A and B are shown apart, each in its own frame.
Chain A
């Protein structure tokens, strides 16, 4: 069964450093997402991406964050200058189309900012 893959599975970084989280969405999917989940809290929407541009973003997704689809398969989330409160599990997800389609999640990248 096709799946969303993410790397790295776990990253530890120092406060102020830049981090790039990578994702390979399911190959025939057109919509890509990033979500995050702080330990013990709910899954929070960050951003959705379609047709090579951001289609919507939440209040969490400020100027510190950016997304990119550098080639035909990868989808990345960059955090420019990490803060302690960015420590969370970051989930990439994808769906075939917008409405009525299931969003499939990757296994997550656990980011620890120290």
Chain B
């Protein structure tokens, strides 16, 4: 089975840095994705990690430790538009190995 845990809610202020953690337990592992989802909209891709370490993409970075089943998404220089839900998703190894399984998401509220 698969289990993905992330905090339900977080708050931060404009200009700050926030780290959203995700822990996972899967039968096999074939990559971890972070998506952003604004209310009523589709998830949009932010980052992908399959090897241990940090992937940086502008204001967003994502870290993975496969041995610990742990990832985080780091958002720097927060802006009001970053208020959204952040979804951690894992691709497990199975017969076809294609589907992503999502966590419940972390709702981030950025205030001024």
Contacts and interface: CB of A to CB of B under 8 A. Distances in A.
A44 B97 contact: no
Interface in B29-48: 30-31, 33, 35, 37, 40-45, 48
Interface stretch (A11-19, A62-70, A92-100): A92-100
A50 B99 CA distance: 11
Interface in B57-102: 87, 89, 91, 94-102
Contact of B91 (A50, A99, A105): A99
B33 A102 contact: yes
A99 B33 CA distance: 12
A70 to B, nearest CB: 21
A89 B99 CA distance: 18
Contacts of B96: 48, 50, 55-56, 98
B45 A99 contact: no
B54 interface: no
A4 to B, nearest CB: 8
Contacts of B94: 56
Q: What band does the interface of chain B fall in when counting residues whose beta carbon is under 8 Å from A?
A: 20 to 34
A25 interface: no
B42 A106 contact: yes
Given A45-B100, A56-B99, A99 B43 contact: no
Contacts of B87: 42-43
A75 interface: no
Contacts of B95: 55-56
A42 B102 CA distance: 7
B42 A105 contact: yes
A48 B99 contact: yes
Nearest to A39: B40
30 contacts: A31-B98, A33-B98, A42-B102, A42-B103, A43-B37, A43-B43, A43-B87, A43-B89, A44-B102, A45-B100, A45-B101, A48-B96, A48-B98, A56-B94, A56-B96, A56-B99, A58-B99, A89-B40, A98-B96, A99-B30, A99-B91, A100-B31, A100-B50, A102-B33, A103-B33, A104-B45, A105-B35, A105-B42, A108-B41, A108-B42
